[in-house]
Amino acid sequence: MMMLLTATHWLMRYSLLYLAVLGVGGHADWMWTFLTQMLAMAASQFSFLPGGAGAAEVGVGSLLLPLMEREQAAAAVLVWRLVSYHLYLAAGAPLFLLYSYRLLHRSPTQ
């Protein structure tokens, strides 16, 4: 069951760019967007910036440019990163703050 849930999560995650491209009026195959995300995420591992910030976006944008207009590619990248990265941060931030508060304010006898 866990393997099925994990595979479903990654399949949905790697479909986000495809849906973003369709949402901005572009046309691309699902497999192209899948490979684009894989290559961009791999390239972000070699970025000198903390966490590969910006490298994935530049990689995805450059791989989408042959398929669509520059403005469409930029909009697709922004939507993709909002959903695949920033919403994860927004969902995890309250839990992080809650657990940090509990850790900092627990009594020393525990």
In a domain, 51, yes or no: yes
Count of domains for the chain: 1
In a domain, 110, yes or no: no
In a domain, 70, yes or no: yes
Report the C-alpha gap between 25 and 71 in whole angstroms.
11
- Residue 79: predicted pLDDT: 93
Predicted TM-score (pTM) of this structure: 0.76
Domain with 95, as residue range(s), is 2-104
Place of tokens 């403005």: 71
- Residue 44: predicted pLDDT: 81
The CA-to-CA distance between both ends of the chain, in Å, stands at 36
Which residues of the chain are modeled with pLDDT < 70? 51-52, 107, 109-110
- Residue 110: predicted pLDDT: 56
In a domain, 33, yes or no: yes
Side-chain-facing half-sphere of 26: CA atoms under 13 Å? 26
Report the C-alpha gap between 87 and 37 in whole angstroms.
18
The H helix count followed by the E strand count for the chain is: 6, 0
